[in-house]
Amino acid sequence: MSHTCLHERASKEEIEKGLKLQPKFDENGLIPCITTDVHTNEILMFAWMNKESLENTIATGKVTYFSRSRQKLWVKGESSGQVQWVKELRTDCDQDVILVKVDMGENGASCHNGYRSCFYRKFDENSKGLIFDGGDPLFDPDEVYKK
Amino acid sequence: MSHTCLHERASKEEIEKGLKLQPKFDENGLIPCITTDVHTNEILMFAWMNKESLENTIATGKVTYFSRSRQKLWVKGESSGQVQWVKELRTDCDQDVILVKVDMGENGASCHNGYRSCFYRKFDENSKGLIFDGGDPLFDPDEVYKK
């Protein structure tokens, strides 16, 4: 990509108070990405991006992560059909995290287990364990990923 | 801490479908933590926890991170007074991320720059840069952190 919106990191002042997108990629070239539902603010998933995936996300409007297990660019939905359309993109004070707010449609599911959100379990103080409360799966993973 | 709610990682099936909290700490002993406002779902900040800070968070009900820059336990609010009270704690499908929903009070501010959320800037398609839209700072950092 010849034109990029990403700039080299400058001073702390510039990073925290400035108007340039200057993301910090870690020693593996990755930046954490939090993905939320633009309508409800619900957290859908958390994954990683490299420079190319962030540029691709901005250029195409489709969230593109970097898969650490497969070590390759991962356009969300390319296997599952569950595309995440970018409606807003943010970064934090020190620009070492990306936040994307997306539209996946009413029945979109982010999780590879078929749930709307990957965060389908919460910690329960009484049992000191997890309980499911993320609704029912919206697709059957065995069906979707069978190829 | 002699009693812990944290368990050793078992099978993929157990991690993704089970009821035991089995967090995965990375090669530095850390797990990413997303912190949201329990009332609005707004993302307030993103930081890291080690095993001790996660145990401390569960035991005390106050969010405790691990500061990578200071390499020590960081009870949020110990300097700023901006305590984050845990209302809900979640993990994701493969249990390598923590999500805490907190109550900071109506005028609570998570960001060291005084903003409610660290994500006070969003990317603007037109300018290809960032614009501020996180409201006004709720405290003066120079005042709060002067010691």
* Of A49, A47, A14, A11, nearest in space to A30 by CA: A49
Taking only the tens place, the pLDDT of each residue in A6-36 is 999 999 999 999 999 999 999 999 999 999 9
> Would you list which residues of chain B are within 8 Å, Cβ to Cβ, of chain A?
5, 16-21, 32, 34, 36, 40-43, 45-46, 58, 88-93, 97, 99, 111-113, 115, 118-123, 127-131
ipTM of the complex: 0.95
Cα–Cα distance for residue pair A48/A29, rounded to 1 Å: 10
A4 pLDDT tier (thresholds 50, 70, 90) = confident
* Of A117, A108, A114, A120, nearest in space to A137 by CA: A114
Sign of the Cα torsion B34, B35, B38, B44 reads: negative
CB pair distance less than 8 Å for A90 and B42: no
Please identify, in words, the CATH class of the domain defined by B12-113: alpha beta
Predicted local distance difference test score (pLDDT) of residue B12: 96
pLDDT surpassing 50 at residue B2: no
DSSP type of residue B12: H
B1 pLDDT tier (thresholds 50, 70, 90) = very low
Q: And the tokens for B35?
A: 């912190």
Chain A residues within an 8 Å CB radius of B16: 113
The CATH-assigned architecture of domain A12-110 is Roll (3.10)
Taking only the tens place, the pLDDT of each residue in A73-125 is 999 999 889 999 999 999 999 999 999 999 999 999 999 999 999 999 999 99
Q: Whole-angstrom distance between the N-terminal and C-terminal Cα of chain A?
A: 31
Give mean pLDDT, residues B65-77.
97
